[in-house]
Structure 1
Amino acid sequence: MIPAATIAPASTPRRRESREAVEMFAHFRHGARRCTVMLKDLTRHGARIEGHGALQRDEAIGLAFPGLAPVLAFVAWCNGPCAGIEFAEPLRPQQYESLLRDHALPALRPDPPGSGLPLVA
């Protein structure tokens, strides 16, 4: 029998980056179906969307963010009207920062570089 102290705890999957809370509309495309969805959180690698129909894991979708060209993404998980998606290619840092600047929730919005202002509590 192996002593309990030598058994490694089960690993918990870790995100590559922390999620940023946002509220923005995006144009969603899944096959011939198109609609507008709400993004609720965002990283450079993916997002959580709400307001679509049923999706299956690993399905390909298209998303068009405000002011950006459409991106290809894949469904990572789906729970009713919510889904986690992973972008085929991470957003470029400039794209990501622009989306956060314009759509992050006010209490969580990052300050402009060099502003020296504290975050709103």
Structure 2
Amino acid sequence: MMLVPVWRRSWRDAAFVGAWMAVNPVVFGKPAHERAWSTRAMLGEERWIEERPMDAAMAVNAAATVAGVGAMVAARRRRAVPAAVAAAAQMGLLLAYWELMARYHDTRHGNGAGRGAR
């Protein structure tokens, strides 16, 4: 989604993406429980950002950022295959990062293996 404005060189598309990024946290209310993997990942990320430990998650996040920048550069040059490969790498790294964040939440929340999810 974030590559579309760069690929198309469209300020209008960038405004839509920016608006979605701004309203996204507001659109979705507080979850009913913390059993879902995605909920645990987001809560773990919030805590991780506050504590900022130098751990594997930092490296995975940095690698995802590099892949994202590579995807943006490839999209700017309108190179479809490199943009798609870099975007896929970024998404894979983000999923790995979110798994680390879910684990971070679980270990900081006192129950180690999660809260009944999986």
Query: Could you tell me the TM-score, scaled by structure 2's length?
Result: 0.25
Richer in helix (by share)? 2
Q: Rg bigger for which structure? A: 1
Q: Whose relative contact order is higher, 1 or 2, with alpha carbons under 8 Å and at least 6 apart?
A: 2
More strand by share: 1
**TM-score, normalisation: structure 1:** 0.24
